[in-house]
DNA sequence: ACTCGGCCTGTTAACGGTAACATGTTATCC
DNA sequence: GGATAACATGTTACCGTTAACAGGCCGAGT
């Protein structure tokens, strides 16, 4: 910057102002500075700026995994909506584990992010106090936690799943099995499981069988393998409620291999409205959770908060039942 | 840090050393510093460190999209393999556009990354000179460019696709159509297309029909829509060579809807060895490009380079034909 | 007792920007 | 013409950490 200043014949301060489009520099100076900077191949040092101003220009984001079309959609919505803001995203994956989330947040905080975007409302106590102590804007997404840390953009996993169960009950299904990850890791998955069990009880259906498809994240392969393991025992059920569309697709494919008629013998439902649910034949009944919209809404909240205005504490996005051909 | 130093009764320098595990601090001092730091809720400022040492601790990574299971796999392999190194990833998506890549890299460079990881070997001239001028380690992945900027970890898209065409020819297919993105955006896709056309010619097959499924990134829906648009004209072909497994799956599903026998009437092949190809019924013939391995290999190269050793300039990962049931 | 080297800790100055304030320069007004 | 405001630029000090160097202390060797 000093070099640029010297070349233009002004002080570094003026160069600084010119490059940041401070309106107090004359148009003539600004354009000369820009030209010389480009000519000299000068690259602005955001690290130094972040240091001096104590504003990093980072928003820290944690996701369970980027390897999930839904979370990837949220990320895309968020990053596209934030593109113009001058903020950069610092992304971390928690692998669906709260301890990993804690470690990750600890690490991310050392970069002085100006806001924190977390997936879900469950965090370790240490994470909560860490964040509270920092006093920076927090947004939890993909859920509607009862005791949020700050802002919330999400939907009720329980309600969405209840709607799905009601849909199955209305079409005469009574013997449901829930296919999802093992206890523990995937908390939104656990919420969905609990909701399926509770709703079935409330509607007077048979007790729901819970089928463990393996540790989170459960994939298409897990769904297929679970159905394969069930084998003949599948006939005990008239509907498979899967924790996600990927699992549902795996289950559906395996059913086809086993010549099980879907939806004749067995209904299958997914969750998330992944592409695969809309394209597969038959189309999978699912719930559209507005993954992308969550991202753009989070971006809007951030924008508002950064502008110093106050944003609504809770934004509920729609979780809409999308009937397909598998139920 | 000053506060911590005061509380412990040492100088800030000692605290700095203790927190970084500099071996010249006594074990006793180190543990006291750690304890006090934790107690006071002190959070280390990586920004200041990055500024002072002129080492950001960042590796900048650009991907066409995270919304693609293959690139997401590469990202996961890379970030998991780098987890212990103390480096953080600064991720950006180019949306398959070189101009966007240039802008992104310009932005990322202001953060002083210590290395740059790019997807593909095609870049604008400005990008190339920008990077060259910076003189930092560069790794291009997912391709084997003829004129690399630095290190390369990838495979030959052309060779992989040629193997697939040879496989189709060997099983008697002669009238191929290639289904991919419109000209321009997706460069690896374009390489694949060119290879299909060239290989078919070399093997004496009919001239390949190129079917435009829409702008990159092409998804399952695009694949399905392309087949739907083709309709009866599909009978002109005995094989659909798709640019990716997602497109192939969309095409396959639409064929089922249209009661077209796959592979009886029509073979379908994909690319990338996505889960959907392995799980769908029938399984889709594809090419496993070791997406995750690319990530871990890139991490290994980075580690070597950061350690000051010299890493091989070109690492070719396997692109292995995975015969399925659609060909 | 004195020197020397190893171990541990402290002091100083700097990394590249920018906030806050000071200053100079040019229009504007009575 | 002189005061005043509006604009454009410069000066100074500092953001939190650490490299480089400078000690101080202690035990071993002579």
* pLDDT, tens digit only, all 327 positions of chain B: 889 999 999 999 999 999 998 888 888 899 999 999 999 999 999 999 999 999 999 999 999 999 999 999 999 999 999 998 889 999 999 999 999 999 999 999 999 999 999 999 999 999 999 999 998 999 999 999 999 999 999 999 999 999 999 999 999 999 999 999 987 767 888 899 999 999 999 999 999 999 999 988 899 999 999 999 999 999 999 999 999 999 999 999 999 999 999 899 999 999 999 999 999 999 999 999 999 999 999 999 999 999 888 889 999 999 999 999 999
Q: Using an 8 Å Cβ cutoff, are B66 and A66 in contact? A: yes
Q: What is the pLDDT of residues A103-158, one digit of tens each?
A: 999 999 999 999 999 999 999 999 999 999 998 999 999 999 999 999 999 999 99
| A132–B contact, CB cutoff 8 A | no
Q: Using an 8 Å Cβ cutoff, are B43 and B263 in contact? A: no
Using an 8 Å CB-CB cutoff, list chain A residues near B253. 279-281
What secondary structure does DSSP assign to A267-283, as a single string? EEE-SS--HHHHHSSSP
CA-to-C1' span, A33 to D3 (A): 35
Edge to edge, the sheet with strand A267-269 lists A209-212, A176-180, A239-242, A267-269
Q: What is the share, in percent, of chain A residues with pLDDT greater than 70?
A: 100
CA-to-C1' span, B80 to C10 (A): 39
Distances (CA, A) of B202 to A60, A276, B205, B206, B287: 52, 36, 8, 10, 21
Residues 24-43, chain B, CB closer than 7 Å to nucleic strand C = 24-26, 28-29
The whole-number pLDDT of residue A117 equals 97
| A281–B contact, CB cutoff 8 A | yes
Q: Which stretches of chain B are assigned E, i.e. beta strand?
A: 58-63, 88-93, 115-119, 138-141, 151-154, 176-180, 209-212, 239-242, 267-269, 286-288, 314-316, 320-322
The whole-number pLDDT of residue A23 equals 84
The answer to whether residue A100 scores a pLDDT higher than 90 is: yes
How does residue A235 score in pLDDT terms, banded at 50, 70 and 90?
A: very high
Q: What is the pTM of this model?
A: 0.92
Say whether the CB atom of B313 is under 7 angstroms from strand C. Answer: no
The whole-number pLDDT of residue A188 equals 86
The whole-number pLDDT of residue B138 equals 97
The whole-number pLDDT of residue B183 equals 77
Using an 8 Å CB-CB cutoff, list chain A residues near B79. 93
Say whether the CB atom of B55 is under 7 angstroms from strand D. Answer: no
Query: How close does chain B come to A259, measured CA to CA in Å?
Result: 11
Say whether the CB atom of A29 is under 7 angstroms from strand C. Answer: no
How does residue A300 score in pLDDT terms, banded at 50, 70 and 90?
A: very high
The answer to whether residue A216 scores a pLDDT higher than 90 is: no
Say whether the CB atom of A132 is under 7 angstroms from strand C. Answer: no
Q: Using an 8 Å Cβ cutoff, are A139 and A150 in contact? A: yes
The whole-number pLDDT of residue B56 equals 94
The whole-number pLDDT of residue B21 equals 85
């Amino acid at each position: 910057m000093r070099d640029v200043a010297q070349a233009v014949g002004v002080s570094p301060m003026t160069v600084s102002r010119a490059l940041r489009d401070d309106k107090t520099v004359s148009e003539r100076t600004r354009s000369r500075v820009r030209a010389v900077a480009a000519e000299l191949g000068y690259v602005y040092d955001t690290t130094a700026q972040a240091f001096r101003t104590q504003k990093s220009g980072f928003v820290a984001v944690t996701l369970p995994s980027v390897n999930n079309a839904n979370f990837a959609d949220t990320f895309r919505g968020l990053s596209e909506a934030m593109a113009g803001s001058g903020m950069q995203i610092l992304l971390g994956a928690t692998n669906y584990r709260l301890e990993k989330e804690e470690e990750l947040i600890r690490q991310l905080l050392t970069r002085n992010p100006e806001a924190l975007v977390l997936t879900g409302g469950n965090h370790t106590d240490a994470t909560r106090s860490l964040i509270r102590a920092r006093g920076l804007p927090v947004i939890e997404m993909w859920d509607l936690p009862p005791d949020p840390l700050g802002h919330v953009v999400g939907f009720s996993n329980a309600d969405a799943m209840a709607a799905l169960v009601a849909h199955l009950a209305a079409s005469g299904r009574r013997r449901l099995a829930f296919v999802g990850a093992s206890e523990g890791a995937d908390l939104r998955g656990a919420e969905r499981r609990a909701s399926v069990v509770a709703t079935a009880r409330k509607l007077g259906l048979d007790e729901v069988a819970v089928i463990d498809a393996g540790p989170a994240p459960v994939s298409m392969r897990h769904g297929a393998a679970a159905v394969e393991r069930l084998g003949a025992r599948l006939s005990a059920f008239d509907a498979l409620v899967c924790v996600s569309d990927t699992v549902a697709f795996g289950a559906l494919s395996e059913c086809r291999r086993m010549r099980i008629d879907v939806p004749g013998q067995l209904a299958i439902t997914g969750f998330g409205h992944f592409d695969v649910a809309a394209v597969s034949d038959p189309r999978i009944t699912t719930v559209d959770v507005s993954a992308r919209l969550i991202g753009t809404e989070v971006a809007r909240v951030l924008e508002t908060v950064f502008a110093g205005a106050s944003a609504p504490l809770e934004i509920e996005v729609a979780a809409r039942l999308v009937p397909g051909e598998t139920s």
